[in-house]
Amino acid sequence: MRTLWYAGLLWLAGIVLFACQSGDLNVGQSVINPQQLQIQSVDSVSINTATVMRSDSFLTSGDVDMVVGQWKDAQTGQQSTQAFAAIDYPSNSLVSQTNLRLDSLVLELGYSFTYGDTTSAFTLGLYPLSRPLPAQNYFNTSTVGYSAKPVIERTFVPQQFSGNRLLQIRIPDELAQGLYDKLISGDITDNITLNDFLPGFAFLSKSTTNTFLGFTTNPSVSGLRLYYHDTDVNRTASTLLFPITSLHFTSFKNDRTGTPLSALKNRSDVVSSNLTNHTTFVALGAGLQTRIEFPYLNDFFRPGNFADLNRALLVISPVRRDSRDNTSPPTSLQLYQTNSQNEFIATIPGGSTGADVAGAGYSIAPDPITPLLTDNYTIDLTYYIGQIIKKKSLSQPLLLSIPAPSGGIYTLKTLIQRVTLGDQFRQNDQMKLQLFMTSGSGS
């Protein structure tokens, strides 16, 4: 271990050999002649990365969407989502009507978003709930009982569009007729009597493709739509929508059996990127985030002609090859100080003065030279790294995760998003800490 420590220290000390460039001559000019100032750069600072577990629960019943689908790969295991919804009673004047005839009952679901494979067939099953949903908050860890046999299953190719695109599934005629008869007879007149007859549905998929479908619960779009018509000469057609708005939630299940990440049993556990093909992961719904350490930065050797740290950038590269793959990474990532239990301790100061948070948005640009996708999160750590180099603070373990929204509640779309990140030794998509330092060494 001592040999490794000295090797790391000597590696960092090697910055005195880096090539010179022109730079900001205002930095350090009170110490060194401005005409002798140079900018030296290094991007070989040691970085240790690992995947750790975040097993928090998230409120899902407050989201306007429901999500059904699954994701499975050899590194992270399987994540699956199931949606649950009660049926709302709409005001109507059907009771005691004798001049109406039932046409059909159709489940209509408006697309909110799709994530993953939208070129393969997807199977959605509707399973009756065992009992009405209690009015309460539901989380990603919540679940309720449902029938082992679906009312109906439908296989289709998902649409990538939101808005007025609808998935329509016709409910079996027997169930439709039963609901219609009870509305006409007056046996169903409110939410209680409706849910006694039809408590709601669990929405499950048995598909093996890596696909998540987000459906809106907007009451003007999604729900059970009853189609019927008058029996008079005009045969006027009408509809009645039973929304699924008031009680709905999405449940998440994660299974890492047989993968390198199966070692994540407790919050303190870590799995080195060396064991996961030189990658780490950030996926809130899957309970994963990335731990980052700079093991030798506390022993950073400053050459005698060192004036100041000009800039420090942590460049984090997603492992992604095509921007059209419908698996967009999170819009932003942020660094947090952590401890041995992988808990959030504090935010990390970002920018040149430390007045900002250490985070960055996802940036993507085409590469004019190679077919590889050029994308990254570039976090400005100038102040934070500068304090460490100047021996004013110590390098601490960091966690990279998705920043919490202002209201503190993550959307379902954010929860199902994921990103795979290359480590320092990944052949492509490498993580780098780039240091630009002002010194007085001439060239």
d(CA 434, CA 39) in angstroms, rounded, equals 12
Mean pLDDT of 365-372: 64
Q: Indicate the SS3 state at residue 316.
A: strand
Q: What per-residue confidence (pLDDT) applies to 68?
A: 98
Count of CB atoms situated within 10 Å of the CB of 2? 6
State the pTM of this model.
Answer: 0.86
**Region label for 408, one of left (φ > 0), alpha (ψ between -120 and 50) or beta (otherwise):** left
Q: How does residue 370 score in pLDDT terms, banded at 50, 70 and 90?
A: low
Write the DSSP symbol of residue 283. B
- Chain-wide mean pLDDT for the chain? 88
Mean pLDDT of 265-286: 96
Q: What per-residue confidence (pLDDT) applies to 14?
A: 42
d(CA 6, CA 334) in angstroms, rounded, equals 31
pLDDT digits (tens, 9 = 90+) for 232-256: 878 899 999 999 999 999 999 999 9
Q: What per-residue confidence (pLDDT) applies to 371?
A: 62
Tell me which residue has tokens 């030798």. Answer: 296
Tell me the two tokens of residue 94.
């059907």
Looking only at Cα atoms, what is the longest distance across the chain? 99
> Residue 344 in contact with residue 338, Cβ under 8 Å?
yes
Angle (nearest 5°) at CA 229 between 224 and 233: 170
Q: How does residue 36 score in pLDDT terms, banded at 50, 70 and 90?
A: low
Kindly state the percentage of the chain with pLDDT values over 70. Answer: 87
Count of CB atoms situated within 10 Å of the CB of 131? 12
Q: How does residue 133 score in pLDDT terms, banded at 50, 70 and 90?
A: very high
Give strand ranges (E) for 160-278. Answer: 166-170, 201-205, 211-216, 223-230, 237-243, 248-255, 270-272
Quick one: how far is CA 192 from the chain centroid?
Answer: 36
Count of CB atoms situated within 10 Å of the CB of 142? 17
d(CA 416, CA 430) in angstroms, rounded, equals 24
One-letter identity of residue 297: L
Mean pLDDT of 283-302: 92
Mean pLDDT of 162-191: 92
CA distances from 128 to 149, 174, 180, 199, 285 (A): 8, 14, 18, 7, 25
d(CA 348, CA 100) in angstroms, rounded, equals 66
Tell me which residue has tokens 């059996």. Answer: 257
